[in-house]
Structure 1
């Protein structure tokens, strides 16, 4: 053996099709280890191309229906045609009977060429022979062929007598004799089969085994050099399966890859399977996909199907719906029924591509013929008809398909039926009880979505009385069944428990939901790992891993929602205003990409942070409304209606558009409190169970509270009580309920309840609620209201950088509602700078308080400074006081020039006293103001105007 044929080998696999060459027995562990690499040849130049389809004999008739005696082909063509029938092909179905008839017809037609028919006829008889006479005939033909010098007949005789042949003909000694003859004739297949006998012979020495196997391998290599490169595949499979040689998968891969270079598609598919199997040391997806594409491009239907699926899902390759359709269509045209299902799924938009309902329907109908009614396919078809059918008949057909599947035991089908009835229940609540029935059937079989839907229905009172207990029970079951969203919600519920064990379990649920891809859970967990709050230990390594997980998400919608959730939760856990503002700024990149959810989130966070300017919110809502977002339409309509300077009909139009688009709050907003039918209209809107969120329930309560009917007040309290029971871990929900209590929805006697909800909302990160808490103390709304508590809350807001809180502090101090000091006021003023609101009004008041000693000891210099701030803001009375201060030298050094300047400014600003004194001064002349009759007359006229105005 040549030394350059020996190499090292690696890995083991067993995922490919069986070895060609007719091995019937498993190899023994004693197989010799022979590491032989494929020869370094130009295979494209050496290998003879396979017989082209165009070179095959013509099929003039269907020989399964016509007598073989009518065949009119050359002898060699008859043999080729018979062999094709024996094996089956893309042209003919496999039929040993037809093959036998053609060969016998050929024998009769060409008796002089009898030798070329004997071997193929014997093979057909051995394969299909059912009697000993047929097998004896086969044996006779082979012996005759061997006697005429056909050495391949020796190999066939060895197989006939061997342990893989018919039991009636087995003869070990004869098999050994003829296989040895075949091997000695250098027939590669004979050498392989002979070597197999030697390796199975317990009497054979290791050297004899090695010699026999080596000779067989060299015989196959000679076959390669002669142009028959199929031997590359044969040797590859020998190493792959451990036949003759010990199993050496790396060596097998070398031989198979060499054969793949010739373009053989089946070998390419085998390699594709190998490189992604767990049998190799290291899976190589890139190589696997490369070979899979070669196999698919070579026309192998199963490879086309697998590659089409990969392009559809984006798994292992870049998602490409066009290529998915191309390969799946080709597989479908070759008769692969599974490809029809996948084409239906692609065209139905399951993988984020464009929907082609007509094509999806066509392929669903093809794919669902003669399938298991309880399988996944009928469920998909039913869901497609319900969602994309577009007609009542399609919905009815969907229900028929799904009910058949449900009756066959499909829990998923029951779930889909429940979803159809739930959707129908939005317009006709009578269907909701059916939805509950089918969701219950689905959930009882472990369907997580069915359990989650039941939780939602009980939470909303859809088709059954609202029950928080049943909702939580079903939500927990859904989490146990694997519902990602239910894991998240159950986790949130549990972390609020007073039991530490439940809290810990809740955190585990939240982490599980995060790594299952829940955008809400990812944001929640990540932000708390980064900060180490809410029972989560700070864990930067875990946070980094979770961010990497997010970066690898392929679903663009999931990724976008996750990014928004991260911003939202980072905002919630931030303790300082500048940190919150930084998170608001992080939204802009998503807004620029055209994300309406990002735009709405910005509006929400600006309000939560107390940084929302009316003009900014109006601009956001207008942009959303023009983009067709129902939420934006509703909020923009409300903004326009609240602005008395604008046409109310425009605002009403936007609200109507939002309601027509299905926005629940917009529908409520359109109800006129003076309408006698207002209560029935609200009942109709809420009967379908659309009021499923705390915010929606609060809105219903507010609308009822606005009606004059006493019964409406009771209903308002009922809806608010529902919202109160459901509000828990969401700061916005808690604030919404608190605001409703504060506004007297539950009666003025219960306004104090708002404080507890505001405090819980603040604890969950809504800093702006401190302003509401402070206002409640100032108005005496809370059970223990105090000015000191109000000031404490406002100082917390101010400390976080909130300028509105600083302005509020200044105004309340100036109005003597809060106590303070000159130092504190100066700090507030320095912080606000040009952002101080009504500084003219409030700093004049503060100056007076200073003079009265109500801000600590009187400080004349501070008084002058505050009067100057007030005067510079346009306050005429402050200007007049400054005139007096500098003219008389009370509280500041006397300065006639400044006094005259401020007197003039005060008069020009409309202070009547200043105008009168200025007129008098010009009449008589004083220091700094020489007499001037014309100016005196002007200011006399101004005095009259100002007096008339008073």
Structure 2
């Protein structure tokens, strides 16, 4: 900005003060731009008005702008129209264009597309490219004129030939969708590229989409990345989202969750609910950042407040389990019910859960079934599987194995792991179907391949017993190991048995004990009994009767009759403890009542000889 008055300014001032309209306009321009003098909108307004009152078109146009923007004078759309009108009457195309804008937007006058059309057309005839663009938009949308894609394209093309980037973008879109011209992705790309080179972010974004999808060109994620990045740097929300997705999926660029989050955050600042939801997922799952349920909650809530149904569901789930927020079943019910009311299948399934378990609402099996069925009808495999469970168990509805089979099969065909396992169970036990080990094996295998530990354990059993397949301890060991690695205590026990007996694997007492112990630590009473036996006999571990008693005691408290019998023996014989017939009698009796044959014999012997019995 020049702060010292220039010679040109002084000479222009002198001419303006003598009443020269052109000089008055030029002086107004100098004050507005701060050239040759300090910037002064009030002074600019003063000299524009003097010139405008003498009929100077440019000054009239400038006064319209100043009233429109409220510079040097209070904003006044009515006055803005008045001065644009004066200039437009003298065929100023910029004034005609701006009048069209004001009629189209209803500023300073009632909205009137017919008048907007009239002024755009006047300006367009003079080659005003902005007017040609807006005239094309009126034809494309049918505002103030009959919809006509061909004429819309003509207007866009005329402006595009003048290098107008917005017109080039619109012309590209007409070719993209085949509006007013034969569809041509190749032509579309040509126009988009012309606009993109001039920095049009919409064109850059759309080019990114075309390279990503391979429309009008070979699929090229690197080019998609390039154009998304150009648009994203200009604040284009959609480009920021798509750029984040490319980083998230590692397409066209090395996968980088941190950068994905960076671009999603940029879009989030502009309030995009889909990105808010996706960011919530990334914080929930710890992708590109430390897992943070509090942050996940924050972004889900932002999206939910905008009506994002998926966010409402996930917000409800956070409240349901107390992740990132205090557990609140009533709030969980509120958000999940809102999503379910919009017909969202995931919401309906989760609402079914809340009714089934009576969380946040009174338990109601009938309503639970209702929502599971609504979700199942939309193909929700979780709801289908849960309906199968309800029919199999007969909760809230009459037990019906045929219906259970039907719903399990629907879900299993969609790859639902739990349903595949449950179908395997129906075939194994002959529920609602004729017992069929081969079919059972087939479904267990499907679930096992997807990592279901119960299915892996069941496959191990079938290989060990030769059910539905030839007996094969090596395969049994393989599937027990897969399940055991996921913490399946039953598989850990059976794997321990294989190592203890040397079936399908080299006999190894240490490994056997290790697996028994792993299962015992999870509170499995059978494992606790086996671990106690390993200590009793000193297999895989140094013999220790005291440790043996500890494990037997844990199993006996859970009603394991073998452990109760073994404790009876140890108290009777004084191993690891003082001899105590009363305690021996107590444990023999507990085991005998469960039908333990050896305990019954020992109990009978003690009764005949009066050992341990209260007198």
TM-score bracket, shorter-length normalisation? 0.5 to 0.7
Aligned with 1:611 (options 531, 537, 542): 537
Q: How does 1:342-421 map to 2 (within 5 A)?
A: 342-349=314-321, 356-358=326-328, 360-369=329-338, 371=341, 375-381=345-351, 383-384=353-354, 387=357, 389=359, 394-396=361-363, 398-399=364-365, 401-402=367-368, 405=371
Which secondary structure does the structure 2 equivalent of 1:620 belong to? helix
Structure 2 partner of 1:107:
81
Deviation at 1:137, TM superposition (A): 2.5
Cα distance in structure 2, aligned partners of 1:442 and 1:620 = 43
Q: 1:514 to 1:333 in 2, by over 3 A?
A: same
Q: 1:541 to 1:249 in 2, by over 3 A?
A: farther
Matched, 1:515 2:449: yes
Q: 1:232 to 1:481 in 2, by over 3 A?
A: closer
Deviation at 1:144, TM superposition (A): 3.3
Q: How does 1:570-719 map to 2 (within 5 A)?
A: 571-572=497-498, 575-576=501-502, 579=507, 581-587=509-515, 590=518, 595-597=521-523, 601-604=527-530, 607=533, 611=537, 614-620=545-551, 639=567, 643=571, 702-703=592-593
Cα distance in structure 1, aligned partners of 2:565 and 2:424 = 34
Matched, 1:306 2:278: yes
Deviation at 1:240, TM superposition (A): 4.9
Matched, 1:151 2:164: no
Q: 1:318 to 1:583 in 2, by over 3 A?
A: farther
Which secondary structure does the structure 2 equivalent of 1:437 belong to? coil
- 8 Å contact 2:283–2:289 — kept in the other structure? yes
- 8 Å contact 1:406–1:414 — kept in the other structure? yes
Deviation at 1:548, TM superposition (A): 7.8
Matched, 1:328 2:300: yes
Structure 2 partner of 1:118:
99
Aligned with 1:338 (options 275, 289, 310): 310
Per-residue displacement from partner, 1:207-256 (whole Å, max 9, x unpaired)? xx87x9757634531x22xxx65553244345456777676554223211
Deviation at 1:362, TM superposition (A): 1.3
Matched, 1:267 2:201: no
Deviation at 1:364, TM superposition (A): 1.8
* Greater Rg by CA: 1
Cα distance in structure 1, aligned partners of 2:189 and 2:343 = 53
- 8 Å contact 1:311–1:321 — kept in the other structure? yes
- 8 Å contact 1:402–1:413 — kept in the other structure? no
Deviation at 1:376, TM superposition (A): 4.8
Q: How does 1:914-929 map to 2 (within 5 A)?
A: none
How many aligned residue pairs are there?
498
Per-residue displacement from partner, 1:888-933 (whole Å, max 9, x unpaired)? xxxxxxxxxxxxxxxxxxxxxxxxxxxxxxxxxxxxxxxxxxxxxx
Structure 2 partner of 1:922:
none
- 8 Å contact 2:273–2:308 — kept in the other structure? yes
Per-residue displacement from partner, 1:614-646 (whole Å, max 9, x unpaired)? 532322356789xxx856999799959984859
- 8 Å contact 2:390–2:404 — kept in the other structure? no
Matched, 1:220 2:154: no
Structure 1 partner of 2:34:
none
Q: How does 1:843-922 map to 2 (within 5 A)?
A: none
Structure 1 partner of 2:204:
232
Q: 1:600 to 1:233 in 2, by over 3 A?
A: same
Which secondary structure does the structure 2 equivalent of 1:142 belong to? helix
Which secondary structure does the structure 2 equivalent of 1:596 belong to? coil
Q: 1:614 to 1:546 in 2, by over 3 A?
A: closer
Cα distance in structure 2, aligned partners of 1:74 and 1:546 = 81
Cα distance in structure 2, aligned partners of 1:271 and 1:376 = 28
Q: How does 1:543-582 map to 2 (within 5 A)?
A: 559-561=486-488, 565-566=491-492, 568-569=494-495, 571-572=497-498, 575-576=501-502, 579=507, 581-582=509-510
**RMSD of aligned alpha carbons:** 6.3
- 8 Å contact 2:85–2:99 — kept in the other structure? no
Cα distance in structure 1, aligned partners of 2:497 and 2:451 = 21
- 8 Å contact 1:488–1:509 — kept in the other structure? yes
Aligned with 2:422 (options 486, 489, 494): 486
- 8 Å contact 1:107–1:113 — kept in the other structure? no
Deviation at 1:371, TM superposition (A): 0.6
Q: 1:643 to 1:271 in 2, by over 3 A?
A: same
Per-residue displacement from partner, 1:796-827 (whole Å, max 9, x unpaired)? xxxxxxxxxxxxxxxxxxxxxxxxxxxxxxxx
Deviation at 1:142, TM superposition (A): 0.0
Which secondary structure does the structure 1 equivalent of 2:300 belong to? helix
Deviation at 1:194, TM superposition (A): 5.1
Structure 2-normalised TM-score? 0.58
Structure 2 partner of 1:258:
230
Cα distance in structure 1, aligned partners of 2:354 and 2:299 = 23
- 8 Å contact 1:308–1:327 — kept in the other structure? yes
Q: 1:511 to 1:608 in 2, by over 3 A?
A: farther
Structure 1-normalised TM-score? 0.41
- 8 Å contact 1:529–1:539 — kept in the other structure? yes
Unpaired runs of 5+ in structure 1?
1-72, 80-101, 423-431, 452-475, 552-558, 656-664, 670-698, 704-735, 749-950
Structure 2 partner of 1:674:
none
Q: 1:312 to 1:650 in 2, by over 3 A?
A: farther
Aligned with 1:187 (options 124, 139, 164): 164
Cα distance in structure 2, aligned partners of 1:642 and 1:377 = 57
Cα distance in structure 2, aligned partners of 1:518 and 1:161 = 59
Per-residue displacement from partner, 1:510-559 (whole Å, max 9, x unpaired)? 423422433243245469879999955869899879978987xxxxxxx2
Q: How does 1:196-215 map to 2 (within 5 A)?
A: none
Cα distance in structure 1, aligned partners of 2:234 and 2:436 = 63
